[in-house]
Amino acid sequence: MDHSWKYFVAVNRCVADVIIKDYKRGDTVWVHDYHLLLVPKMVREALGPEAKIGFFLHVAFPSSEIFRCLAHRQQLLEGMLGASLIGFQTEEYTRHFLQTCSRLLCVEAKNDGLELDDRFVDVISLPIGINPVQLEEKRKEEKVQEWLDTLKTRYAGKKLFVARDKVSSPRWRSDIILGIYYF
């Protein structure tokens, strides 16, 4: 017997349980990549329909002809559909996902998402990357320099990691989510 699926589910359950335990009303939950495909549904089941859960797949999403060959295809798709917003790197991967859900789960796919029985799931294409020329120009702006000086003072002697996510979906209304992590 192949225990891989059982371990996959167990890891997803562990991650979901931590999110559920630490969640506070109004939080936005972000889940990233293929190793956590089941987490959005697990979190949704615990937190309810109002929770804002985003999922981004950083790798290619295959065509429905390939995806249908997976033994646990329905559970994987339903896991992802626990999210309120699902993002992909390219329009092609977005289209593959929409077609796969339509064909395998018989849900109504629209250009911007999927109509489920109880809610709508936004599905977007959002290429991730940094334009280095544009970034360097932005760094030269006075407001940015002031902000950098403030950060340097506030976190003096610490290592600082800054993460930036851009979300451009009408229902999410947050163009930039900035996370600052230090230790």
Q: Is the pLDDT of residue 174 over 60?
A: no
The structural domains of the chain, with segments of one domain joined by +, span: 4-125, 132-182
Q: What is the pLDDT of residues 37-46, one digit of tens each?
A: 999 999 999 9
Q: What is the pLDDT of residues 20-33, one digit of tens each?
A: 999 999 899 999 99
Please tell me the CATH code under which domain 4-125 is placed: 3.40.50.2000
Q: pLDDT-based confidence at 118, cuts 50/70/90?
A: confident
Q: Contact at 8 Å (CB) between 19 and 44?
A: no
Q: Is the pLDDT of residue 178 over 50?
A: no
* Parallel, antiparallel or unpaired: strands 113-115 and 120-125: antiparallel
Average pLDDT over residues 115-134: 84
Q: Is the pLDDT of residue 175 over 50?
A: no
d(CA 99, CA 102): 5
Q: Is the pLDDT of residue 171 over 80?
A: no
Which pLDDT belongs to residue 163?
A: 60
Which residue, chain included where needed, has tokens 């902000």?
A: 147
Q: pLDDT-based confidence at 128, cuts 50/70/90?
A: confident
Give me the DSSP letters along 111-163: TTEEE-SS-EEEEEE------HHHHHHHHTSHHHHHHHHHHHHHTTTS-EEEE
Average pLDDT over residues 161-178: 53
